[in-house]
Amino acid sequence: MKYFLFILLLLGYCYGYTQQSDFLILKKKDRPLKYYYAGTQIAFVTITNAYRNALITAIKDDSLYLQEFLVQRVPMTYGGFINDTVGSFRFTYHYNQIRSFGQSKKGFNVQGSGAALFGGGVLLTLASGVAYLADKEKFSPELLGAAVLLGTAGYFMSRSGKDGMVIGKKYNLVYMDMTK
């Protein structure tokens, strides 16, 4: 009986190992920030501006195999709500198709508001120039100064918006192939 148990343990040790799967490393200036492997949740924006918040089902051959769940709030008969999984979608992306990590911003859009201010400032500046050329008595230097100030503020607001961790100079994504 002792020998049978020993042989069983020896066979289980020899045949019981599994192949480790591939994984991704998000690095900031050669310092690892986060590891992504099969079974973890990932949120990113692709190069085609598609936002994905999904579960990684597998990583192999330089590709991420994802499953994204569609969840809806469903009203109950007694007046409350529950979250119900309506369906799921499967996606496959090459790891080079990831543009940035992080959730897309919801709420107030600083970049869009800055662009609107910049456009309005340029338009008012041009209108002040036309008013100066047409009738110098009705020209208002205060309006021109305010238009230039609004255009400048709008330019800096449009440049200050954050896109998350953009893959490029500061952040890079490394694929670790464990099959070789």
pTM score, whole prediction: 0.60
Residue 164 falls in which region: left (phi positive, over 0), alpha (psi -120 to 50) or beta? left
Residue 72 falls in which region: left (phi positive, over 0), alpha (psi -120 to 50) or beta? beta
Virtual torsion, Cα 124, 126, 127, 133, nearest 10 deg: 150
Q: What's residue 169's pLDDT?
A: 80
Q: What's residue 91's pLDDT?
A: 95
Q: What's residue 158's pLDDT?
A: 84
Q: What's residue 64's pLDDT?
A: 92
Mean pLDDT per 10-residue interval, the chain, length 180 residues: 65 55 88 92 90 92 92 90 92 92 72 89 91 87 91 88 77 85
**Which value, in Å, is the radius of gyration of the alpha carbons in the chain?**
28
